[in-house]
Structure 1
């Protein structure tokens, strides 16, 4: 049997199996039953058919009672990179976009580039399995080199995708741009306790940003207040310290000491700069200088 002779409903379930294997490294019969509210017999048939269509993609682990990703896995479905990243960001796990013919009248900003989906898949698998990844990473400062990282979150910062991870070389939590990773292989053995997300201080610290209409660039501040749903001329956004610099740059928030950025692109001003000096990536924030 091939995919052309499979019903639409079963294709959905097969795509879910494909997606789960690719991005988490495993799938169970119960996950299929719960996701699609089907019976045990139907889920078993789906797994048997997937095994028939892609025999080298999975193997059954009798001890853990789950199907595990094989090292020579090749996706059965064509998972579109941009759509899949959105699904991952919103915890949508059916992976079923390859045969959808529904076109919505909504346009999103174009991306200059998207990460290699197999790189994203290995990073995602490592997160679910609490394992380290050996990567080849090209940085602006040191060029290409191998390093071991323990990833815990994949982030869309509005400009590009990066992974937040503990870096064993620098012995600290850092951001790694996904498009700069050219090779990724999961290492054996579980990661150490101190490498886990719970120990990433900047990630677990939340900061409140008080934003107001720019006091110099905006002639009619009520317009900006309406744009952002401000109350009494201001709004407060709560964000992770590790993401603060990215967000302020994405929103073109003037973070200078005295609203000194005069360009019209800066419609918002950070009104509580003195409270965020310990946040991450503040060098990216427009006009920011330490007090």
Structure 2
């Protein structure tokens, strides 16, 4: 008989950590081996085997063992043993943390952050992350601003927090180019078995791979005491030097209200920063949302607009 939640709560904190790790990896990668446990927790194979057996006692339908490659795989009946908070999990994924410990009541620190207005479905995120890690295409049901709801085949390669919302960067087989898809507008994800082509892969996403140097300075017209802004952003010699992916530059500039006009002409207290080297933006896409930036070469998909 499967163990219940009351019995789960009686486990030691260390046991919960190991089971939460198994649960997290199954959810977001779709598979794991005993070596994943031994490497993560510096334990022997026998102890790893006991933990896997214990996980099965709580969730026997969550995994199946492939004897040929000694790997445990997520089943179609998979239901997480722990509740993985969407906000915390997205932050962990963004910082390459794969422990799932927050689901068992990790240490709480007295720090608060403003709540986001939108939170993606954790299972949508999980299926996309699995596709990225396993280099597979997916079919999605997506609702865009321009064409409403419809099915699309994409090849995802990154999950991105643009400061206001989360999106997945992917090659869109319909338009045959790389685009950003807002996670909350994806209502269904279905894995596809066919392989991806080279032109669909991350290394061919030139806007993603191009790193752009940005030089941010206190706004020369709107700021009376620039030293305050220099202290806010830890500027060195009055300049904050950043290196940003071309695909993400527009989001950053919009989020921080950076004046990108050629001669710092935007007025208002919200424009505290100015992009000193505006010519660096030449050739970058998704700049229609960059404050004050105008270029004949600037392109933006309706899916990328705020």
Q: TM-score, normalised by structure 1?
A: 0.97
1:176 equivalent in structure 2: 181
1:147 pairs, out of 140, 152, 158, with 152
Confirm or deny: 8 A CA contact 1:243 1:280 kept in the other structure: no
Q: Give the alignment of 1:88-167 within 5 angstroms.
A: 88-100=93-105, 102-167=107-172
Deviation at 1:171, TM superposition (A): 0.6
2:300 equivalent in structure 1: none
CA separation in 2, counterparts of 1:4 and 1:220? 56
Alignment CA distance shift 1:117-1:66 (3 Å): same
2:249 equivalent in structure 1: 244
CA separation in 1, counterparts of 2:128 and 2:272? 37
Residue 33, structure 1, aligned to residue 38, structure 2 = yes
Q: Report SS of the residue matched to 1:120.
A: helix
Alignment CA distance shift 1:223-1:127 (3 Å): same
1:61 pairs, out of 49, 59, 66, with 66
Confirm or deny: 8 A CA contact 2:143 2:186 kept in the other structure: yes
Residue 290, structure 1, aligned to residue 290, structure 2 = no
The answer for unaligned runs of 5 or more in structure 1 is none
| Moved segments of 4+, more than 4 Å | none
CA separation in 2, counterparts of 1:24 and 1:101? 22
Deviation at 1:187, TM superposition (A): 0.8
Q: Report SS of the residue matched to 1:51.
A: helix
CA separation in 2, counterparts of 1:175 and 1:101? 32
Superposed CA deviations along residues 88-126 of structure 1, whole A, max 9, x for unmatched, are 111111101123263211111210011000000000000
Confirm or deny: 8 A CA contact 1:18 1:77 kept in the other structure: yes
Confirm or deny: 8 A CA contact 1:210 1:272 kept in the other structure: yes
Residue 196, structure 1, aligned to residue 197, structure 2 = no
1:279 pairs, out of 280, 284, 297, with 284
Q: Report SS of the residue matched to 1:189.
A: coil
CA separation in 2, counterparts of 1:225 and 1:257? 21
| RMSD between aligned residues | 1.2
CA separation in 2, counterparts of 1:174 and 1:62? 39
1:10 equivalent in structure 2: 15
Confirm or deny: 8 A CA contact 1:210 1:271 kept in the other structure: yes
Confirm or deny: 8 A CA contact 2:17 2:104 kept in the other structure: no
Q: TM-score, normalised by structure 2?
A: 0.92
| Pairs aligned (count) | 291
2:273 equivalent in structure 1: 268
